[in-house]
Every structure is written in structure tokens, then in C-alpha cells.
A and B are shown apart, each in its own frame.
Chain A
Amino acid sequence: MLRVDIEKQLGEFSLHASFTGEGRVIGLFGASGAGKSSLVNMIAGLLRPDRGTIVIDGETVDDTAAGIHVPTYRRRIGYVFQDARLFPHLSVAQNLDYGRRMNGLAPDPAQHKRIIDLLDIGALQDRRPGKLSGGERQRVALGRALLSKPRLLLLDEPLGALDEGRKLEILPYLVRLRDEANVPMVYVSHDAAELRQLATQIVMLKQGRVTSFGGVKVLT
């Protein structure tokens, strides 16, 4: 479902990563500065590799040899950032509906309701993002990404900006999402405990290189 084989020079830092992910949740593990975010941004198309290929769900979205670079907005991915990045000028309901509108998808009330129930955000719909707590914001961001019907969901340290209490509040939602939402995910974290709970497969990054790859047990 996800095949990555890329090289990228970022200043002094060189990123050279190659892996094939098959699991439901690929955990991208590494210390800060290991190149995790750059890698995810390349999968999203926000960053362009110097050399290599990226294949999502059978579609080649990057192939430098063939000159292929599918722009972000045509990749049909969802991206949940550490800082939710909700649109401040739109209500929660409008934020949630944004991806569907941009992709010209027909309304799907059943899926809409399922995701809103799954994330428990029904009561927030009329509010503005400025009036939400950090945890609520992150749940809305998750819902917004899922409702654009992505074929791959990227989560870059989605709990990174939250304190311990909030983390424990969001984690169960992520577990439910993994088990019920039926969207493959790439989950970036520097927290081994978090990944042990969520990931089905681990890609370990160290200074721009993949050092281990396999089941959750490589985290030990």
C-alpha cells in the first residue's frame, strides 16, 4: 500500500529512506531531527525528493526518473499535523466539510455521522476553532482529514502538542480509528509507548537512515 524509496538533501542533513509498508498503521519512529517529518511531507507531496519513488495504493505519486510529481491536492491523502491547523475563519462544521467540498464529493451523511460519533465531536460543530481546547482541536483535525475520504492518513506527532492528560484522552480515539475507520495510516512519533499501542509495523529512523524495520517488537 505504501512504497517509499527516496533520497533528499536538506542543507547538511541527508535523508535516504526505503521501506514498503503493508500494515494498517505504519509507525515512523525516531528522535527529533531523524527526518520523520521530512519523510511524511514527501509522502504528502509538500516536499519533493531529489531522487526516488513513492507509491501510494498502487499509484506512483513520485518518480524522479520518470519526472512524475503528483501535487499534494491530487494525492487523496489526509494529514493531521501536530498543531491541528484548523481554519480559524470557519466553524468546526465547515472545517469538517472542507475536504468533501474541495474534492467535489457527494455528501455522505452515514459516514459523516459515523466519524463524528467515533471522535465525539458532535457537540462542537457550531464553535470556532479559537474556542476549542487542544484535545478538541486535534479530534476535529482528525475528523476533517478522515471526511475528505483519504486513501492514506498521515499523522505527524498528533499528540505532540498535548500534555499527558490530554494524550490519554485522545489515545483511545486513535485506537478506535485504527480498528474502525478502515484507512491505512502512517503514524509519526518519538514516543515508543504511543507506537506500541497503535502501530502494526515500525520503521525506525536514525539520522536520515532506516535502521530497523518490522513488527512492534523492534521498539525494544
Chain B
Amino acid sequence: MFEISPAEWTAILLSLRVAVIATLVATPFGIALAWLLARRDFWGKSVLDAVVHLPLVLPPVVTGYLLLLTFGRRGLVGGFLADYLGIVFAFRWTGAALACGVMAFPLLVRPMRLSIEAIDRRLEQAAETLGAAPWKVFFTVTLPLALPGVLAGMVLGFAKAIGEFGATITFVSNIPGETQTISSAIYSLIQTPDGDAAAGRLVIVSIVIAIGALIAAEWFARRATLRLHGN
């Protein structure tokens, strides 16, 4: 019974690729934004904070539709990217990665922000008195101390990205081999007669990935505590 078919493998591998790319691309932006929200006061900060959290509270279909309007072939940004840079998101796996990245972003940023806020700023001052320019302070003190939070954010973001459904299917549809992730494959299978066994297998795969991500996040959180106490 537990024989994963080539079509199912395709969906699983596509999901993994989409989620890995989404997480890796979102991470540098996530770190920058987490730092900005944790450390800087500027005009419009609460607005920016709200916008980042928007995908968490908006219906995913709405986010997907907004992505379609913006990044579709006729969208403002999508048209520009397609015409001048040859980057196409609509109905491609790259679009799925974009949708997953946007949906995962609030979850990815949050632990990063919390871990940067938890850093003793007096350590950064000490680094400065030892001759470290601000960017060196960031890379030698701030980032290493925030690393467990950064990794936890990546794990959570990855878990969200791999399970994303609503925004993805709205933005890039449900094309096997191109945009059909585990979630959209399950959706299709349970609407097909005799699809139950295949859907069940994909459900089990999803559960395994989700639990693995939670265990990893927990492990990173524990490392964070140890690291900040200098053991």
C-alpha cells in the first residue's frame, strides 16, 4: 500500500524544491527586516509591521489573487520582469515559490526578530569599543547570537511554505510537474474516484515533514538558550 508512485514523487520533490527556494530567498530579506523592526525606529514602522503580517490574516486566495495581479504576465511588476529580465512567475514553479515565500514570510521573520531583540546590546557596544565597525558588529556578534532564532525562523518558514495551498493554487494553478505541490496534488486526488490511497500517502508524507520541522524548531530554540548563557 505504501508505494509512492512517480507522479506522487514529482509532487513531493516539487514541493521540496519550492519550499527550499522560497526559504533560502526569503531568509536574507527576513533577517534584514527582523533587524529593522527590532532595532530601528522610523516613520511608518507599524505600517510595515502590519504589511509583513498581512499574509497571515488575509484569506490566502486574496493573497494569491493580489500576486496574480502584480506578478502575472500583465501585472505591473510581472510584465516588467518578463519583458526586461525574462523572469516569469505566472503558472511556473518559480511563481509557486514566490507565493510560498510571501505566505511564509511572517512566520519566518518573527523568531528572527525575537532573537535579535533578546540580544544584550551592551555586547554590541563592547564590540564597538574593540574597534569593530557597525557591519562587523552585526556579522561577528549580532548574527551569531541570533543564529538559533534565524534557523528556527527558516524551519518554520519552510514548514509553512511546503504546506501552502490557497495562494499558490490561485496564483499559479495546479499543473502536474510544474506547479502541483503536495497540497494541490492531495486536493486533486480527493476529488478523483479511487484517489483515496494516493491522497492518504501524501497526507502521511505531509505529516512527517511537518513534525520534523517542529522538532527541528524546538531543537534550535533550545540551542539558542544555551548559546545566550555562554555554555
Binding site for B on A (CB under 8 A): 44, 46, 71-79, 81, 83, 85-89, 98-99, 102-103, 128-131, 144-145, 148, 154
Contacts and interface: CB of A to CB of B under 8 A. Distances in A.
Contact of B131 (A85, A99, A129): A99
A88 B230 contact: yes
Interface of B: 120, 122-123, 125-134, 136-137, 140-141, 144-145, 227-231
Nearest to B120: A85
A125 to B, nearest CB: 15
Contacts of A128: 230-231
Given A73-B132, A89-B145, A102 B127 contact: yes
A99 B130 contact: yes
Contacts of B144: 89
A218 B122 CA distance: 33
Given A81-B122, A88-B228, A102 B136 contact: yes
Given A75-B129, A78-B130, A79-B126, 20 more contacts: A46-B125, A46-B129, A71-B128, A72-B129, A73-B128, A73-B132, A85-B120, A85-B123, A87-B141, A88-B123, A88-B229, A89-B227, A89-B230, A98-B132, A99-B130, A130-B231, A131-B230, A145-B130, A148-B130, A148-B131
A128 B144 CA distance: 15
11 contacts: A46-B129, A73-B130, A73-B133, A74-B131, A75-B129, A77-B129, A81-B122, A81-B126, A85-B123, A88-B229, A98-B130
Of the listed residues A44, A77, A83, A88, the one surrounded by the most CB atoms of chain B closer than 10 A to its CB is: A88
A103 B129 CA distance: 11
Among all A-B residue pairs, the 5 with the closest Cβ atoms: A130-B230, A88-B230, A79-B129, A99-B130, A85-B126
